[in-house]
Structure 1
């Protein structure tokens, strides 16, 4: 009888273990669904993202937008700081819900992400030392060393980077690139208008001039993980409403005014 009872006990235990494991998985999914997991990398320059001394997101346009999104969804936010190269894998694997200030042309697998409507457009700039000649075409970059951001994609220049006609030189921050430009270690720095003008205003550094890139200003979007289709659609709908409300344009004007 003891042997029979032991066998029955073991059988019941084997049947229960998968149920316990399933319950644990359901609990984890439930916990994830109760927060908004947003990637904001410190490779995003101010005023897109402003980090404190402890490398925690403190303020900036990204926080403004995602905090407003969280208010729409009535969810707390968990901010995730990742290197730019890890942003797309985390979205694809469902480790995060969204990352903003992206464009389908800037990622490797755009069709595997869900995209919001464009939040706004941004003018790309080629920053040079003030005394250097203007850069108004790709031919002016021949043999030049261009300061770029590590992990970022530059579709307009990818071909000349690959051929070696133009030298790509990565750094982690805009400030680092501009310092190297001032020191003569770079010829040009790639950045965007809001970041460059914010830097000039807050640093009072008048060493540089900037020329607009010859291509059309690209749209800036949020890329959403498809891992949870329902969550992705909720985020997309809420962000589109935020765009249509004028909230983002108001915040852009706020940061632009800080530059004057």
Structure 2
């Protein structure tokens, strides 16, 4: 009888604990590419964490899940997601994954992505849209989609110079081997500020502003409600804004 009472007490205690805090025990594999893409993530071994790790640290605290980061090159990471070997793409938009064999399911938005045209300062000109780049060569990242520009690349009106990553675009701009490239504005601003490149590089206004969400593999759809609840809380209390402000 005593053993039964003890077991009943333990079960009730566990139930009350679950009501007080998340009881999820999922271990989620989160996509994190090789290399560095500040302010979102830094190279392996770098003491700086970046916005993705910082945000997922507070999300996991809210949801009760454990996070494992999988570092592989970008295109391989997308294949691993499709194969179910990665559970989460931490920052994306459905417009970028239309061609994926596994579209996935998306959280509510938690920030926005602004894409800009970054120029070698000597080549800068005010632009209003893709038509302003007819006949020009524009640096882009291999494997990325650019919905506003893709049709122009496809028919050759604009020549796309495909490079390994955003860092390579900046490298060629600084060397004068490229006049302009399409690039994430947060990344461009971070590099310009930290590396004191303001006299050499100039960003135009954003040509694309898209909501950023978390993409879950369908096998992990059960975790979506608690992540949405956590995102809403962290947006409302200003936590996510404070994380981004640390890197600006």
Q: Which residue of 1 aligns with 2:154?
A: 162
Q: Equivalent residue for 2:14?
A: none
Q: Whole-Å Cα distance in 2 between the matches of residues 184 and 60 of structure 1?
A: 29
Indicate yes or no: 2:234 matched with 1:242: yes
Change in 2 beyond 3 A, CA 1:110/1:195: farther
Distance 2:91 2:223 in 1: 19
In the alignment, structure 1 residue 84 sits paired with structure 2 residue 77? no
- Is 1:123 matched with 2:78? no
**Segment drifting more, 96-105 vs 238-247:** 238-247
Q: Pick from 161, 166, 172 the counterpart of residue 174 of structure 1.
A: 166
Partner of residue 143, structure 1: 135
Deviations 1:215-247, CA, capped at 9 Å, x for gaps: 4x1111111111133134433433343333321
Structure 1 unaligned regions, length at least 5 = 1-32
Offset, 1:106: 0.3
SS in 1 for 2:202: strand
Q: CA deviation at 1:110?
A: 8.6
Map 1:209-224 onto structure 2 (within 5 A).
209-215=202-208, 217-224=209-216
Alpha-carbon distance between aligned partners in 1 of 2:112 and 2:161, rounded to the nearest angstrom? 25
What is the TM-score normalised by the length of structure 2? 0.80
2:113 touches 2:210 (CA, 8 Å); kept in 1? yes
Q: How far apart are residue 153 of structure 1 and its match?
A: 0.9
Q: 1:121 to 1:228 in 2, by over 3 A?
A: closer
Deviation track 1:187-231 (CA, whole Å, cap 9, x = no partner) reads 21111221111101111122011112444x111111111113313
Q: Is the 8 A contact 1:62 1:100 kept in 2?
A: yes
Indicate yes or no: 2:65 matched with 1:75. yes
**1:13-92 matches, cutoff 5 A:** 34-42=26-34, 45-52=37-44, 54=45, 58-92=48-82
The farther-off stretch of 96-105 and 224-233 is 224-233
Alignment partners' CA distance in 2, 1:214 and 1:35: 37
Q: What SS class does the counterpart of residue 112 from structure 1 fall into?
A: coil
* Residue in structure 2 matched with residue 7 of structure 1 by the alignment: none
CA apart distance, 1:135: 4.2
Q: 1:113: which partner in 2?
A: 104
The structure in which a higher percent of residues are helix is 1
RMSD, matched Cα: 2.3
Name the SS for the 1:198 alignment partner.
helix
Counterpart secondary structure, 2:117: strand
Task: Give the unaligned 5+ runs of structure 2.
Answer: 1-24
Pair 122,44 (structure 1): closer, same or farther in 2 beyond 3 Å: farther
- Specify the structure having the higher radius of gyration (Cα): 1
